[in-house]
Structure 1
Amino acid sequence: MSTAKKEYKRVTVKTLVEMKNHGEKISMLTAYDYTMAKIVDGSGVDVILVGDSASNVMAGHETTLPITLDQMIYHASSVIRAVNRALVVVDLPFGSYQSDPKEALRSAIRIMKESGAHSVKLEGGREIKESIKRILNAGIPVMGHLGLTPQSIYKFGTYTVRAKEEKEAIDLIKDAKMLEKIGCFAIVLEKVPAALAKKVAESVSIPIIGIGAGHDVDGQVLVLHDMIGMTHEFHPRFLRRYLNLYKDMTEAISQYVNDVKSIDFPNHSEQY
């Protein structure tokens, strides 16, 4: 049953919990630069993720692993300058938190101080528990990330659906409860069976935001460049393309090239 939507002038971590309690779904998209973030924020998205997916869509890397902490701070700073309403979450990149809780805290502090971000996101469960606790103890809000964790791609060897087997599903639910218990304000759940995602969302009081996790979670997240069709070679089942900007932009740029070469641009009205 639909619920009346409350207007939030500014989305906070507490807002998301309130939205879950009221049955209002949470919308989340990525952004990596000022111009796109301003459009996304102005369109009413609740959460903007400055994702390490910038490694793929902005820098052209095959995985998310190469992007550095300095680069994430650069992208986050650009986004923060554009945002008036949305909660901004920034990924801690690979290598900045896994091995040492003290290093994890230093990385999170740098993101918060140098970019002005509102929170950070880390991939993993019990194996990074101490890193998350160290960051939370410093007063920095943390969003968890379970299921398919792209920073661990070489461990799993594939981007296939996670937690299809009973043991992994049980462990995932335990990790979600653990993340809630230690103080995470929300969890991204990526590429898991819809029935399991529903169980996870019902097992915790914090919001579960899905990507390839069905509709029985508390919100959805997509990579902006995929959703608006700027990328065109990526076709997972969970992706709905709302535009085909690759086609539109290619046609527009080709027309510009033709107009320049035929001396149609600029015309008399486009000169001084």
Structure 2
Amino acid sequence: MSSQAQIKRVTALDIRGRKGGETVVSLTAYTAPMAALADRHCDFLLVGDSLGMVVHGLDSTVPVTLEMMILHGQAVMRGSQRALVVVDMPFGSYEESPQQAFRNAARVMQETGCGAVKLEGGARMEETIRFLVERGIPVMAHIGLTPQAVNVLGGFKAQGRDRAEWPAIMADAEAVTRAGAFSVVVEAVAEPLAAEITGKVAVPTIGIGASAACDGQILVLDDMLGLTGRVPKFVKLFGNLAEGVDKAVGDYAAEVRARRFPGPAHVYAVKDKARNHLVIPGSSLRLAPE
């Protein structure tokens, strides 16, 4: 049996069981190489519809399609071995009815092999979440700032900074928990409210711009690596890869323009069988045969 076959993936039930226990660590991932790097450090990887902005240069997540999510979900599944992979349901793929949500969520799971889906919305999604869970689809909920509703919210604005908003947000958290969601992302919610939600609901809360009191945390991987050129308030830069990429590309361009690259070590020799050695065109070098 291969070493890969021996690795057991984290499941939605495993994440559900972490309530009040070991902190859940998660990041977004959109490609196989980045998924492979993050896999051993994370409990789950989210194929977020934020890929529309991070990878495809869109202004919001609204234009992201189901086909885009499936394509990136397949890549992340190929690149990972251990972490639970959760795929976002994109805008327009689940809001119409529970039946529509089931058809599209089932397609996502069948075509990617992921272990769960995530959808945005609180009390208004209670019926849909229950419908999916009862039919075998694990659901991660998402409340607070819901980016797909950016046009209604008037921008990417933190939620719950006015205490008058707290009852509705708390009701959202309770509704998705009651419906059977195995965890809930709490995004850009005032810290005291996020802590209160975490203390009241029976499933793990996954904070992003919320509170260290949440049961887990998630960030957009490209944001925390300094690759997106933007640093939201709730993001800490754990690296600045953009500077390294910029330098590497600049060095490459300089060497190409100066004709220093490719050099002898980066080209293929011609075999000269008669003389039993290799000849590099334009060079006096003679190499031993391969």
TM-score range, shorter chain: over 0.9
Match of 1:87 in 2: 84
* 5+ long unaligned stretches in structure 1: 1-7
Task: Name 2:111's counterpart in structure 1.
Answer: 114
Please say if 1:195 is aligned against 2:192.
Answer: yes
Structure 2 residue identity aligned to 1:32: Y
Amino acid at match of 2:254: N
What letter corresponds to residue 260 of structure 1 in structure 2? V
- Number of the residue aligned with 1:263: 259
SS of aligned partner of 2:143: strand
d(CA) in 2 for partners of 1:161, 1:117: 30
CA drift of 1:10 comes to 3.1
In the alignment, which residue of structure 2 is the partner of 1:20?
19
Q: CA deviation at 1:271?
A: 2.5
Partner of 1:11: 10
Q: Equivalent residue for 2:176? A: 179
* Equivalent residue number for residue 41 of structure 1: 39
Q: What are the within-5 Å matches in structure 2 for residues 106-185 of structure 1? A: 106-185=103-182
- How many Å apart are 1:9 and its aligned residue? 5.0
Equivalent residue for 1:219? 216
Question: Equivalent pairs: percent with the same residue?
Answer: 41
Distance in structure 1 (CA, Å) of the matches to 2:37 and 2:218:
16
The structure 2 residue matched to 1:246, chosen from 228, 239, 242, is 242
> Which stretches of structure 1, 4 residues or longer, exceed 4 Å deviation after superposition?
none
Secondary structure at 2:52 match in 1 = helix
- Residues 117 and 139 of structure 2 are in contact (CA less than 8 Å); yes or no, is this contact kept in structure 1? yes
Q: Matched residues in 2 for 1:268 and 1:113: separation?
A: 48
Are the aligned partners of 2:20 and 2:215 in contact in 1 as well (CA < 8 Å)? no
| Number of matched pairs | 262
Higher-Rg member (1/2): 2
> What SS class does the counterpart of residue 96 from structure 1 fall into?
coil
Give the Å deviation of 1:20.
2.5
Letter of the structure 1 residue corresponding to residue 28 of structure 2: T
Note the C-alpha offset of 1:245.
Answer: 1.2
Counterpart-to-counterpart distance in 1, 2:250 and 2:34: 23
- Answer whether contact 2:127 2:179 (CA < 8 A) is retained: no
Structure 2: gaps of 5 or more residues:
1-6, 269-290
- 1:78 counterpart residue number: 75
